């Protein structure tokens, strides 16, 4: 997803991933016994992104319906894993089906700064090459589907190649991939309820200007909405990076999750094909103007990203950070008046509210980025309980 520093962390974790797979599998068995809860309901998806460079020691598979393993790359127009260590991690994730036989595992292709989509989508031949290679990966690792995280069609904000024709070519790429996945489903005897899955990660606002969102639902099983990162190092002020509603002090142009949901619905996307994204991390800003405890204010420097585990253990109520709750936005934030540091994040309270929002509005479920940033399954537990 849109993490500016994730790519740099990947290579340092490759060797660790290959060495630790066996120990990780043993830990999973113990974690499953210790954290057994009622499984999620079939009609409400709980989708976890698991990053190949930071696979957590314990993944509570019994609380999940789907795992998106991130990321596969596009190399010479073909979908491929980066190296053998990533493949070993994917096999370990696939083994979680022994704990939860109904769990579906998908490979997510792309991510922030991931190159190759525009060229892969360009022609009939390139689209066919891409789709067939995705099916080959699916066969090799016995997984259940493909998730596309193109950030973003028609936009070069992440430094990747883009074309105006990406708008139509993205639709054609999904159509070709859907055809190839359906053909493979038929060949494997996987019927409609168990066909190979195709999902995408979407954004709001200008994302719609560069895609044909009204044409996509027929090809995808659902859409993982990246309803976070509304404020980050690229924005001029602080704000709730994952706020559900508009803050009272927000500017009219500021983003929030409910507006993103309404934009998707207005495009004709069925509610049950929308999976609302929540964040297991926060974003910090320093040198912030102190008005409103730093909320929706200019800042001097983007301070950095923080996992929820780090926030809970080192920041919330510690080191001069005070937690505040924005009743209008239904979102928490931290403010340190001495250092003028503002941190925006999701926590158990906001995530419970979002899960209930998704249920009330008949959305298809909750997605989160990403598993290793949780604290001992705390946030996932909130989603699992509230999503029943």
Give residue 163's pLDDT band: very low, low, confident or very high (50, 70, 90). very high
Helix axis angle, 84-94 to 6-34, nearest 10°: 30
Query: The whole model's pTM is what?
Result: 0.91
Q: pLDDT at residue 88 above 80?
A: yes
State the average pLDDT for the chain: 92
Query: Rounded to an integer, what distance in angstroms lies between the CA atom of residue 310 and that of residue 376?
Result: 12
Q: What percent of the chain has pLDDT over 70?
A: 89
- Whole-number pLDDT of residue 5: 47
Q: Decide if 274 is inside a domain.
A: no
Give residue 193's pLDDT band: very low, low, confident or very high (50, 70, 90). confident
Mean pLDDT of 71-81: 98
Q: pLDDT tens digit string along 349-362?
A: 999 999 999 999 99
Mean pLDDT of 75-97: 97
Its domain, for residue 71, covers 6-226
Is 84 in the active site?
no
Peptide bond into 130 cis (omega under 30): no
Mean pLDDT of 211-222: 98
Of the two residues 27 and 372, the one the predictor is more confident about is 372
Q: pLDDT at residue 192 above 90?
A: no
Q: Decide if 242 is inside a domain.
A: no
b/e code 82-92 from CB counts within 10 Å (16+ = b): beebbbbbbeb
Mean pLDDT of 227-246: 98
Task: Give residues with Cβ within 8 angstroms of 161, minimum separation 6.
Answer: 115, 118, 119
- Whole-number pLDDT of residue 20: 46
Q: pLDDT at residue 34 above 70?
A: no
Q: Decide if 269 is inside a domain.
A: no
Q: Decide if 168 is inside a domain.
A: yes
Q: What is the DSSP string of 81-99?
A: -SSHHHHHHHHHHHGGGGT
Mean pLDDT of 234-263: 97
Query: Catalytic pick from 82, 136, 140, 151?
Result: 151
Q: pLDDT at residue 191 above 70?
A: yes
Q: Decide if 336 is inside a domain.
A: no
Mean pLDDT of 5-9: 43
Q: pLDDT at residue 6 above 70?
A: no
- Whole-number pLDDT of residue 17: 45
Query: Rounded to an integer, what distance in angstroms lies between the CA atom of residue 43 and that of residue 188?
Result: 24
Mean pLDDT of 239-247: 98
Give residue 388's pLDDT band: very low, low, confident or very high (50, 70, 90). confident
Of the two residues 193 and 22, the one the predictor is more confident about is 193
Of 1-15, 253-267, 297-311, the range with the lowest mean pLDDT is: 1-15
User: What is the phi-psi region of residue 362: left when phi exceeds 0, alpha when psi lies from -120 to 50, beta otherwise?
Assistant: left
Q: pLDDT at residue 21 above 80?
A: no
User: What dihedral angle (degrees, nearest 10) is formed by the CA atoms of 358, 315, 303, 239?
Assistant: 40
Q: Decide if 357 is inside a domain.
A: no
Overall domain count for the chain: 1
Q: pLDDT at residue 26 above 80?
A: no
Query: Rounded to an integer, what distance in angstroms lies between the CA atom of residue 46 and that of residue 67?
Result: 8
- Whole-number pLDDT of residue 233: 97
Q: Decide if 263 is inside a domain.
A: no
Q: Decide if 283 is inside a domain.
A: no
- The CATH number given to whatever domain includes residue 158 is 3.20.20.80
Give residue 245's pLDDT band: very low, low, confident or very high (50, 70, 90). very high
Query: Rounded to an integer, what distance in angstroms lies between the CA atom of residue 72 and that of residue 147?
Result: 10
Query: Rounded to an integer, what distance in angstroms lies between the CA atom of residue 321 and that of residue 335?
Result: 5
């Amino acid at each position: 997803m849109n993490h500016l520093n994730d790519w740099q962390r990947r290579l340092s974790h490759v060797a660790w991933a290959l060495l630790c797979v066996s120990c990780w599998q043993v830990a999973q068995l113990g974690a499953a016994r210790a954290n057994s809860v009622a499984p999620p309901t079939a009609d409400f998806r709980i989708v976890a992104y698991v990053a190949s460079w930071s696979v957590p020691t314990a993944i509570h598979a019994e609380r999940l319906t789907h795992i998106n393993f991130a990321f596969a790359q596009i190399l010479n127009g073909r979908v491929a894993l980066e190296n053998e260590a990533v493949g070993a991690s994917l096999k370990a994730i696939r083994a979680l089906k022994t704990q939860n036989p109904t769990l579906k595992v998908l490979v997510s292709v792309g991510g922030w700064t991931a190159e190759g989509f525009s060229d892969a989508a360009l022609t009939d031949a390139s689209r066919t090459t891409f789709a067939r290679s995705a099916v080959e990966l699916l066969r090799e690792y016995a997984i259940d589907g493909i998730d596309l995280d193109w950030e973003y069609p028609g936009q070069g904000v992440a430094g990747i190649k883009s074309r105006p024709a990406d708008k139509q070519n993205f639709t054609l790429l999904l159509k070709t991939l859907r055809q190839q996945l359906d053909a493979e489903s038929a060949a494997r005897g996987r019927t409609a309820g168990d066909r190979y899955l195709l999902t995408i990660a979407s954004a709001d606002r200008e994302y719609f200007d560069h895609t044909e969102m009204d044409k996509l639902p027929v090809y995808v099983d659902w859409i993982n909405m990246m309803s976070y990162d509304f404020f980050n190092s690229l924005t001029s002020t602080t704000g709730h990076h994952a706020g559900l509603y508009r803050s009272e002090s927000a500017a009219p142009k500021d983003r929030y999750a409910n507006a993103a949901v309404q934009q998707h619905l207005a495009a004709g996307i069925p509610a049950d094909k929308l999976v609302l994204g929540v964040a297991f991390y926060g974003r910090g800003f320093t040198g912030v103007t102190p008005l409103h405890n730093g909320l929706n204010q200019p800042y001097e420097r983007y301070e950095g990203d923080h996992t929820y585990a780090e926030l809970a253990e080192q920041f919330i109520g510690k080191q001069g950070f005070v937690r505040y709750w924005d009743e209008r936005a239904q979102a928490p934030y931290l403010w340190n008046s001495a250092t003028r540091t503002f941190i925006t994040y999701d926590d158990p309270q906001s995530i419970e509210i979002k899960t209930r929002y998704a249920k009330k509005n008949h959305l298809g479920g909750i997605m989160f980025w990403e598993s290793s940033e949780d604290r001992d399954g705390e946030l996932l537990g909130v989603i699992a309980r509230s999503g029943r």
